Amino acid sequence: ISIYSAKDGVILIDELDNGIHYSYLDKLWKIILIISKQQNIQVFATTHSDECIKSYAKVSKRLEEKDITFIDLGKNRKNEIKAIVMNSERFQREIEMDNEVRGW
């Protein structure tokens, strides 16, 4: 519901998949991607769920959505938090190659 009130803004969703059965993730991502584009909303969603990430990849590919990004946060050997930012093309390639994209 909050996504409708964030027109031309930003919405933050922590642990997107919390309380959502995995079989509904595709529908949820489809709603988020379509409405956020219509309402001009930048969505930041967090998850640790492999199913949720793969669903995001599948739905964005099906919708031919190229204006997405996947950001992987991790700590390096110096215990510094670093980000790996993947554009749509790289993210889809990593998922298709069945590479782990959660943490490092």
- Contact (CB, 8 A) for 83 and 73: yes
75 vs 39: CA distance, rounded Å? 34
Alpha-carbon torsion, ordered 56, 6, 19, 85, to 10 deg: 40
- Which tens digit of pLDDT belongs to each residue from 74-92? 888 999 999 999 999 999 9
pLDDT of residue 104: 67
pLDDT of residue 3: 86
pLDDT of residue 4: 85
Give the three-state DSSP class for 80.
Answer: coil
- Contact (CB, 8 A) for 102 and 50: yes
- With the C-alpha atoms ordered 2, 3, 9, 15, is the resulting torsion angle positive or negative? positive
Per-residue pLDDT of the chain (104 residues; tens, 9 = 90+): 788 889 999 999 999 999 999 999 999 999 999 999 999 999 999 999 999 999 999 999 999 999 999 999 988 899 999 999 999 999 999 999 999 998 76
